[in-house]
Chains A and B, each alone.
Chain A
């Protein structure tokens, strides 16, 4: 079993929709939960990260972690065509080693 599972998509939504991206993980030692966005032919770019369980909001993006169910979510409000990219979750226990999901490809249609 992989440390982190993520639906590869692709996920196609109309502009303005609310998007929900999710990951599950198996290692209860994970304390920090990162979300990266990767555009085609570019490196992953850190979007946001959270510590332990709870929510964190940054503009149109909200990261949510439920450690009891080992479930990580990223919500995008009012999605834009510029949000079209691959989104990767990456939990870690101590920033030594990051465990990346396979990424979900998102397409926001104008």
Chain B
């Protein structure tokens, strides 16, 4: 069964540190999404890519967040510098003209 793989599954770091989260989309899927989930806000779309090109990153704080797809098998989401309010679960999802499939997320805690 094909799955979206996210690493790391958990990350605890101090405020001000750089955080990098990685996602391996399902092979053949050309659209990759990054979401953030918190109790207060629910699931928020941060950015998404099609064929490795960014289509929409309007949900992302531009000053500290960046998202890239170096190749078709890897998407990255970076936060620099990190802040306590960035603590959340970050999900990657992938799709191809169909409902997207999610990874199990990176649980991020910024102290």
A residues in contact (CB < 8 Å) with B: 32, 34, 36, 41-46, 49, 88, 90, 95-98, 100-103
CB pair B99 A97 closer than 8 Å: no
What distance in Å separates the Cβ of B48 from its nearest Cβ neighbour in chain A?
7
CB pair A44 B48 closer than 8 Å: no
Find chain A residues with CB under 8 A from B98 CB.
95
Indicate whether A95 sits within 8 Å of B45 (C-beta atoms), given known contacts A42-B104, A43-B104.
no
Docked Cα-Cα span, A88 to B48, in Å, equals: 20
Secondary structure at the B interface, as helix, strand, loop or mixed, is strand
Q: Fill in one digit per residue for B84-102: 1 if any A CB lies within 8 Å of its CB, else 0.
A: 0000000101010111111
Q: Which of A41, A43, A49, A97 has the most CB of B within 10 A?
A: A43
Q: Is B43 an interface residue (CB 8 A)?
A: yes
Secondary structure at the A interface, as helix, strand, loop or mixed, is loop
Find chain A residues with CB under 8 A from B31 CB.
95-96
Indicate whether A49 sits within 8 Å of B99 (C-beta atoms), given known contacts A43-B105, A96-B55, A100-B42.
yes
Q: Is B14 an interface residue (CB 8 A)?
A: no
Find chain A residues with CB under 8 A from B42 CB.
100-103
Q: Among A42, A43, A88, A98, which residue has its beta carbon within 8 angstroms of that of B45?
A: A98
A-B pairs with lowest CB-CB distance, top 3: A43-B102, A102-B42, A100-B43
Q: Which of A32, A42, A98, A102 has the most CB of B within 10 A?
A: A98
Q: Among B50, B55, B95, B103, which residue has its beta carbon within 8 angstroms of that of A43?
A: B103
Q: Is B56 an interface residue (CB 8 A)?
A: yes
Find chain B residues with CB under 8 A from A49 CB.
99
CB pair A44 B55 closer than 8 Å: no
CB pair A44 B56 closer than 8 Å: no
CB pair A97 B56 closer than 8 Å: yes
CB pair A88 B43 closer than 8 Å: yes
